[in-house]
Amino acid sequence: MATMTLVQAIHDALGEEMERDPRIVLLGEDIGKNGGVFRATEGLWERFGAERVIDTPLAEAGIVGMAIGMALDGLRPVAEIQFADFIYPAFDQIVSELAKFRYRSAGQFTAPVVIRAPSGGGIKGGHYHSQSPEAYFIHTAGLNVVMPSTPADAKGLLASAMRDPDPVIFLEPKALYRTAKGEVPDAGSAVPLGKARIVRKGSDVTVVTYGATVRVAEEAAAQAEGEGTAVEVIDLRTLWPMDIEAVIGSVEKTGRAVVLHEAPRTCGFGAELAALIQEKAFLHLKAPVARVTGFDTPFPYALEKLYLPDARRTRNAIAAALSF
């Protein structure tokens, strides 16, 4: 196994799957000769040619609309949105068209489109380059929504996404692109969609999280361990369909749950997680389900560190759950 950064693992998955399946094509702004703004597609234009690595105009609705047409014609397009914040011009194409093809055709047609988008804060990008829009797409029936936190999962989940018959919104935590490093399996490995990962085991509190905040949860859990508290950390990996069995199994064991994400609090995915935990594990709960999230404001540039959930806020929520 090779040691890679998260963005290198994504690049590896794209290249390997394109070798495996000639139907896979990439399209997006500056992904060809330039290799993408984060260099996730660097060298693939030279390797596979301009017919399979397509530079597009700066037009997100056009990128996704073209990808949908390609998929319906038998290809397997992977569309890159340069930043998740720029996905909104394509919102109607995604929620009204892409997500609906299987349902509206009674299963006769699928739309195997992967939409990759760098998501979240942590790079001083300000309010136009730091948003976390996952809840919009989780709300939309017909879409798989994925967010990895490690290089191995980034490669394995992206491989599964490119093989899936249905559309996948693949959100990449850009703060981890070059800061997350780890061993990555060789060619051919895939991580199944819909399965959570237990990052560390514990018996006192469950922290449910995903993406860049997995690291935050690990740091808070290590601090709590020093004080005698065993925190179980669950990385959802696939946000939808969610591995609810893993979450509920953990909460039934610990009796306490903290939900952690950097998206805004109101109607964020943490609200759905809290509701599901309450519905399915109510008699096992020893404290209310806590949420540690971003704030209900535009993403601030100067106050980015204050906005993003950190180990201190997470540790406080763990302590509050224990003392309830």
Active site residues: 129
Of 75, 81, 76, 39, whose CA–CA distance to 59 is shortest? 81
Residue 119 phi/psi, 5-degree rounding, is: -130, 155
Residue 219 near residue 199, CB atoms below 8 Å: no
Of 90, 94, 86, 91, whose CA–CA distance to 125 is shortest? 86
Strands, E, within the chain: which ranges?
2-5, 24-28, 53-55, 76-80, 114-119, 144-146, 168-173, 181-184, 197-200, 205-209, 231-235, 238-240, 257-264, 290-294
Residue 180 near residue 232, CB atoms below 8 Å: no
Q: Is 9 helix (H, G, I), strand (E, B) or coil?
A: helix
Q: How many helices (H) and strands (E) does the chain have?
A: 12, 14
Of 74, 13, 61, 17, whose CA–CA distance to 40 is shortest? 13
